[in-house]
Structure 1
Amino acid sequence: MKKYLFLILVFTSFQAFSQKVSIPGSVKRAMNQIDTLTIRNHIAYLADDKLKGRMPGTEGYQMAVDYVVDQYKKMGVQPGGDPGQYTQKLILRKSVVNNSTARAWIKDKNGNMDSLVFAKDFLPVPHPMLAKASGEGALVFMGYGVDIPGLYSDYEGVDVKGKVVVMVTGVPDGIPASTLISHFSSPGNKMNTAFGKGAVGAILVNPNQPFTNTNPTLQSNVALDPNKTTAYGRGFVGNLGFALNGSKTLLTGLFLNSGKNLNQVLADIKSRKNSSFEFPFQFSASYSNTHSEFESYNVVGLIPGSDPQLKNEYVVHSAHLDHMGIGRPENGDSIYNGAHDNASGVASLLEIARIYSKGNAKPKRSVLIVMVTAEEMGLVGSSYFAANPTVPKSSIVADVNTDMPTVIAPLLSVVPLGAEHSSILGNVKFAADYLGLEIEADPEPEQNRFVRSDQYSFVVSGIPALHIKYGNKTNVPGFNLDAFVKEWRAKYYHHAADEMDGIFNFTAAKTYVQLNFLISYSIANTPVKPSWNPGDLFGLERR
């Protein structure tokens, strides 16, 4: 049923995209002249050992920044970062929990107190804004901790102001799209919802994932505003007094004295039966955090629009420039080069910039080519840019994100993650039709891919966005592309093996560049700017 619903959305979005965008001959020639050798050379440089995995804050990442800036200059792409610059400066903060300071207590109505055990009952989530995180309040079970307009809310009829909420991972049944499942499953979204409802602290329990390390390193990264009063990232950004991960052991113990049956409650919330209630306990917690800061940069190029009015609106192309640096050795190799993830995405955007700048494309709206930092740290660079762009935030009409294109086989079908929520699905259909590509629904909703890449930062900032992933169509009889990709991913994704000598299909890379270019080009040249679908939950959550 979800597949058919997606196909209906594709058809109706294409109907709504009634004004065909004409493609001038000069643009067609530029698209056809995409140089696969140039794409390969971009990837080879960015994934070279001398860049040491492009970890933000290192010399290798700065080499990547300098390379992109140099390419922009050679192509005549204008600076789009901080005033007069190609870069947008970020202050990144790393926060680490001091494990020995972590304390948590439960007090019953008779004043009896029980101390919880670190790494058995709870693990603190690093607090990016406080040297000492702490708080106390009545303990409330809030199911999944979700508030989904028009569908289901764990908070209905329950006041959590000044209280500590206990939530379990996941979402209830019946959420209609994999993108929404990913969004409402996100721990960061659950924490933000709890804060918005007035909670002072939150405990998130994964009943299926036991704690295995008695002394783990608990760390996180965020970007800070210049005054260091606001944090940006996909996860916990410090708006609660404290946040903990709780164990199944803790949850079971709480329910033993609650008068409720844990298994029944978990079954009830799965079927969207609100089962929130207040435990007969007070809860308190405290732990200290060590903070360290360093600078990193988003890299922003500008292609000015040609229309007197529309040039003040912007279509963004985004891709993350960073990778994971130097890590655990694998087969004698400790440099995580990130050739596919995401040197190939950066190379794609550089070719898109070249089409715009050298192909005389002259989009009506302006186009920003944004290489963001610290995606591997939790979408940090894109979260900062989406909330604090180098142009007026209200002027950004859409984001087309490119992350790990996975060009390892002929590209015959694509999955436009996120496009089904807005009119930009029509732009995808236009581009796919031009190139003879099929559009598929997400074949791996369990991967939660939608919240794991930078387009998500734009969506939660109220900007329609998408991320083009590979589809499963193949032209080889009997070949299971889905199984092949999963096998490839297990070997290369976030491993030291992701180097230039891995599998690449550069013909597919050329098609991928053409597709993403046509999507942004059609958005930039359509008089009506993209809009959320009527009643869409992301549109309703616009911030």
Structure 2
Amino acid sequence: MIGRVVTGLALAAASAGAAPLSKAPDPETRAWWALASELSSDAMAGRDTGSAGYDRAAELVAKHFAAAGLRPAGTDGSWLQSVPMHEMAIASARITVAGKPLRFLHDFTVQPGPSMPTRLSAPLVYAGYCAATTLGAATGKIVICHGVNRDGLPSGADRTAAAKAAGAAGIITISDPGFTVEPPRWPFAYARATWLAGSPPPSDTMLRMTLNADALATLIAGSGQDAQALVAAGSAGKPLPRFDVRGALSADFTLRERDLRSPNVLGMLPGTDPALANQAIVLSAHLDGYGPGEAVRGDGMYNGTLDDAAYVALLIQLAKARQGRGFRRPILFAAFTGEEKGLLGSRWFVQNPTVAKSGIAANINLDQLRPIFPLELLTVHALDDTSLGDDARAVAASMGIAVQHDPEPARNLLRRADQWPFLQAGIPATAFVFGYRPGTPSERTYRQWYRTGYHRPQDDPRQFIDWKAARDFNCFFFSLVERVADQAPAPSWKPGSTLRPAAR
């Protein structure tokens, strides 16, 4: 069955071009998109972790897993693995500088934590890049730092450490508009911190704020400095001054805390080869989204269609294609919760697997996929670290798709999705991003989506999809799974991998 489905996808991909949503794709892709649309409809309310909308989506995924002939692989014979979490949110915030208000989530956001001050009034000092060697004393002050991401300049951790060492009461990081590979997006949906129950919560006693660069002029009014010139110089990595700001920043926050639980959805397709029964391949995508948040262009529902409902739907499509007929190796289908809150569902699963961890041979994760331009080049995470990279190369080559390493390592995408906890645990894992050639229309489309679609309400079922690209990737994924699950050698680490932990 899988071969016929893959062949159908490939033939459709060869004959169809990019199309708006009004043009009906082939039946397999239409079924995939219908399910993606259902999972990310307003009825699911954005599937925020711990919400009723997420629970409805989880029930729907479990229903489809059952109909496809999978076996429950959650806790106590169920489809679900409950993940305990604790959440802290800023319910309301009032910030003024010299009496002038700043708009919460539009001009600034705040990282909440149990030890953060809820009321504060302190003077401000602009300190450039906030390098430890140049910051100087800042006792009781709030330091303003340009948040660059450049070699040779302080990192976020460096800036925070320098501010703490200087005695600062808080740190305001200017969100760098010059970081064009992933430009800042305002407004933020909300300000929350969520962590696994029983793990250490954020412990900062400093106020930690992120500032929209457009609001810097309000922050430093009366200083005689040109805010636009400072932002431009900071984005370019040029020297920046240090100066005191007239007037104090006053802040008043209301916090809300709650315990919550949200389930991973897990289904098993047993293998057919008893000798490979302890070499399960975990196929994963994250079910959670942002949910309701600050409105953008009049829409406050963050549906998360491509991030990541569409690829939970693709897991379901693969399970349906098999209809209970196994590959040689077992396949564990995993729709993880809490990815948007810090990979919480995948971390919990890796720490508390519902199958023996020694029996997990690999993870293939689906996230960060945007079929909005032709699939001619595919970024493969951990390409040269495990044999999964060789498998991806072979399948891609058979389809005329080139592969590459991550061309934008500064974005740290490898560590920002659910493959990362598996790699940390010593389990070979990989994931993919649609690639582009610099200066092409594909790059322009990619950049535009990250400005207007990523973590935005506009990532919904009405957006443009390149149907041929979607089918091409779906075909690639089906073929890759078949290859990894059926070939004789088990997935393995490559000698010299810098990602492999010292000991498993």
Describe the shift of the 1:428–1:319 C-alpha distance in structure 2 as closer, same or farther (beyond 3 A).
same
Question: 285, 291, 307: which is aligned to 1:319?
Answer: 285
Letter in 1 for 2:61: V
Question: 269, 273, 285: which is aligned to 1:303?
Answer: 269
Give distance in 2, aligned partners of 1:169 and 1:501: 34
TM-fit CA distance, 1:208: 6.7
Letter in 2 for 1:29: R
Question: 493, 499, 503: which is aligned to 2:460?
Answer: 499
| Residue in structure 2 matched with residue 411 of structure 1 by the alignment | 375
Question: 416, 431, 445: which is aligned to 2:395?
Answer: 431
| Residue in structure 2 matched with residue 66 of structure 1 by the alignment | 59
**Where in structure 2 are the equivalents of 1:505-516 lying within 5 Å?**
505-516=466-477
| Residue in structure 2 matched with residue 160 of structure 1 by the alignment | none
Describe the shift of the 1:242–1:82 C-alpha distance in structure 2 as closer, same or farther (beyond 3 A).
farther
1:329 corresponds to 2:290: no
1:77 corresponds to 2:70: yes
TM-fit CA distance, 1:85: 0.8
TM-fit CA distance, 1:469: 0.8
| Residue in structure 2 matched with residue 222 of structure 1 by the alignment | 195
Question: 352, 356, 359: which is aligned to 2:318?
Answer: 352
Letter in 2 for 1:31: V
Describe the shift of the 1:244–1:316 C-alpha distance in structure 2 as closer, same or farther (beyond 3 A).
farther
Give distance in 1, aligned partners of 2:459 and 2:313: 15
After superposition, the C-alpha distances for 1:9-45 in whole angstroms (9 at most, x for unaligned) are xxxxxxxxxxxxxxxxx43212234501101111110
Letter in 1 for 2:500: G
Give distance in 2, aligned partners of 1:127 and 1:173: 29
Matched residue SS, 2:394: helix
**Where in structure 2 are the equivalents of 1:238-257 lying within 5 Å?**
none
Matched residue SS, 2:259: strand
1:45 corresponds to 2:45: no
Give distance in 1, aligned partners of 2:367 and 2:260: 25
**Where in structure 2 are the equivalents of 1:126-141 lying within 5 Å?**
none
Identity among equivalent pairs (%): 28
Describe the shift of the 1:535–1:506 C-alpha distance in structure 2 as closer, same or farther (beyond 3 A).
same
Matched residue SS, 2:65: helix
Backbone CA RMSD of aligned residues: 4.1
Matched residue SS, 1:540: coil
Instruction: Using the TM superposition, name which of 369-378 and 505-514 deviates more.
Output: 505-514
After superposition, the C-alpha distances for 1:62-102 in whole angstroms (9 at most, x for unaligned) are 111111111111111111111211111111211358999xx
Letter in 2 for 1:438: A
Structure 1, gaps ≥5 residues long = 1-25, 101-122, 133-143, 145-167, 175-184, 195-202, 211-216, 232-236, 248-287
| Residue in structure 2 matched with residue 457 of structure 1 by the alignment | 421
Describe the shift of the 1:170–1:538 C-alpha distance in structure 2 as closer, same or farther (beyond 3 A).
farther
1:392 corresponds to 2:356: yes
Matched residue SS, 2:307: helix
**Where in structure 2 are the equivalents of 1:131-170 lying within 5 Å?**
none
Describe the shift of the 1:431–1:51 C-alpha distance in structure 2 as closer, same or farther (beyond 3 A).
same
Describe the shift of the 1:469–1:56 C-alpha distance in structure 2 as closer, same or farther (beyond 3 A).
same
TM-fit CA distance, 1:299: 0.4
1:531 corresponds to 2:481: no
Structure 2, gaps ≥5 residues long = 10-27, 94-108, 118-129, 131-145, 162-168, 177-189, 211-253
| Residue in structure 2 matched with residue 28 of structure 1 by the alignment | 3
Give distance in 2, aligned partners of 1:331 and 1:241: 34
The 8 Å contact of residues 280 and 361 in structure 2, kept in 1 or not, is answered as yes
After superposition, the C-alpha distances for 1:456-498 in whole angstroms (9 at most, x for unaligned) are 1211222121111101159xxx942112210122111111111
TM-fit CA distance, 1:522: 2.1
Give distance in 2, aligned partners of 1:542 and 1:244: 38
The 8 Å contact of residues 400 and 516 in structure 1, kept in 2 or not, is answered as no
The 8 Å contact of residues 363 and 524 in structure 1, kept in 2 or not, is answered as yes
TM-fit CA distance, 1:246: 10
Give distance in 2, aligned partners of 1:513 and 1:397: 22
TM-fit CA distance, 1:370: 0.3
Letter in 2 for 1:501: R
| Residue in structure 2 matched with residue 444 of structure 1 by the alignment | 408
Give distance in 1, aligned partners of 2:191 and 2:292: 19
TM-fit CA distance, 1:413: 1.8
Describe the shift of the 1:525–1:186 C-alpha distance in structure 2 as closer, same or farther (beyond 3 A).
farther
After superposition, the C-alpha distances for 1:262-284 in whole angstroms (9 at most, x for unaligned) are xxxxxxxxxxxxxxxxxxxxxxx
Letter in 2 for 1:331: R
Give distance in 1, aligned partners of 2:386 and 2:206: 34
Q: TM-score scaled to structure 1, two decimals?
A: 0.63
Describe the shift of the 1:414–1:462 C-alpha distance in structure 2 as closer, same or farther (beyond 3 A).
same
The 8 Å contact of residues 303 and 357 in structure 1, kept in 2 or not, is answered as no
Describe the shift of the 1:241–1:409 C-alpha distance in structure 2 as closer, same or farther (beyond 3 A).
closer
Matched residue SS, 1:351: helix
Give distance in 1, aligned partners of 2:410 and 2:416: 12
Give distance in 2, aligned partners of 1:525 and 1:50: 39
Describe the shift of the 1:294–1:518 C-alpha distance in structure 2 as closer, same or farther (beyond 3 A).
same
The 8 Å contact of residues 410 and 507 in structure 1, kept in 2 or not, is answered as yes
Give distance in 2, aligned partners of 1:413 and 1:470: 7
TM-fit CA distance, 1:308: 0.9
The 8 Å contact of residues 334 and 496 in structure 1, kept in 2 or not, is answered as yes
Letter in 2 for 1:309: A
The 8 Å contact of residues 68 and 322 in structure 2, kept in 1 or not, is answered as no
| Residue in structure 1 matched with residue 480 of structure 2 by the alignment | 519
